Amino acid sequence: MATLQQRRLENVSGDFYVDKTCIDCDTCRWMSPTVFNRAGEKSAVYHQPTDEKERLQALQALLSCPTASIGTENKPTDIKTAQKSFPLPIIENIYHCGYHAENSYGAASYFIQRPEGNILVDSPRFSPPLVKRLEEMGGIRYLYLTHRDDVADHQKFQQHFQCDRILHKDEINSSTREIEIQPEGNENLQLEPDLLIIPVPGHTKGHTVLLYRNNFLFSGDHLARSRHTGDLYAFRRACWYSWEEQIISMEKLANYSFEWVLPGHGRRYNGDRSTVKQQMQNCIAWMKQQ
């Protein structure tokens, strides 16, 4: 829990603040960009909320902070309103779950609501307010995990919802060995007609991405959006397996057509298919220069 004693000096005066436990995961800055910004390699409040919309976004960021580094001087009486707002609608039947986990370094998780069975993409914290909302929205059929880094509270979600978890065999370790579905090799897995799992080794050996309706790419840590340029980007400094393999995987992924990239870390990307294809080619060209 954030404490006033550790309040960062970079915060402007007012109710909301960030304390020194911030890990610079960027969550609050893309969830509530009019309130939080980067200062001294961590986040800080640069503008206090001035209306209900900004206040709600700031509270949503507070709830989503993986290290509970955001606090308020006064106990928020409207925190339940923020809790009930999750999962946050993105587009159509796709939602952002919030409640990021520290052991996933603040990675985002997503919820796809489908008549055939709902999908949780990567694991958020097992927070009772979020769990209650997911129950109200029909529960979870599959818990799809892009890679070993973002599994967080997968066991608690499986036990509660009795869902089938999915994680590539090359990502399995002692905490995930009982996962129900473990794809192998580099062949695609057509999980259901609208759900295609594509292996993309690079960031980790068994990293996969999920293509939904041939339009929405849940990209984990394979492909992201640069917070500096807004372009599609790959994490060179956070490539734990093979940069060369990640380039090959990116070239493979560039053969698919989609409009949305929903990454584990950072801001989402949306553009028409031709723009996304060009962005992918630009990303690959940049990767080859590194």
DSSP the chain: ---GGGB-TTSPSSSEEEBTT-----HHHHHSTTTEEEETTEEEESS---SHHHHHHHHHHHHH-TT--EEESS--TTHHHHHHTPSEEEETTEEE-----GGGTT---EEE--TT--EEES-----HHHHHHHHHTT--SEEE-SSGGG-TTHHHHHHHH-PEEE--GGG--TTTTT-SB---TTS-EEEETTEEEEE--SSSTT-EEEEETTTEEEEETTSEE-TTT-SEE--GGG-SS-HHHHHHHHHHHTTS--SEEEESSS--EE--HHHHHHHHHHHHHHHHH-
- Mean pLDDT score of the chain: 97
Half-sphere exposure of 61 (CA within 13 A, CB side): 31
The whole-angstrom separation of Cα 261 and Cα 279 is: 11
The per-residue pLDDT for 71 is 98
pLDDT at 228: 87
The answer to whether 26 and 18 are in contact (CB under 8 A) is no
Residues in the chain: 290
How much is the pTM?
0.96
pLDDT of residue 155: 98
pLDDT digit string, tens, across residues 137-172: 999 999 999 999 999 999 999 999 999 999 999 999
Q: Could you report the per-residue pLDDT of 101-122, keeping only the tens digit for each?
A: 999 999 999 999 999 999 999 9
How much is the pLDDT for 1?
Answer: 87
The segments of the chain whose pLDDT lies below 50 read none
Rounded Cα gap, residues 283 and 227, in angstroms: 14
Q: Which domains does the chain have, with CATH numbers?
A: 4-74 (3.30.70.20), 84-289 (3.60.15.10)
pLDDT in tens, 18-34: 999 999 999 999 999 99
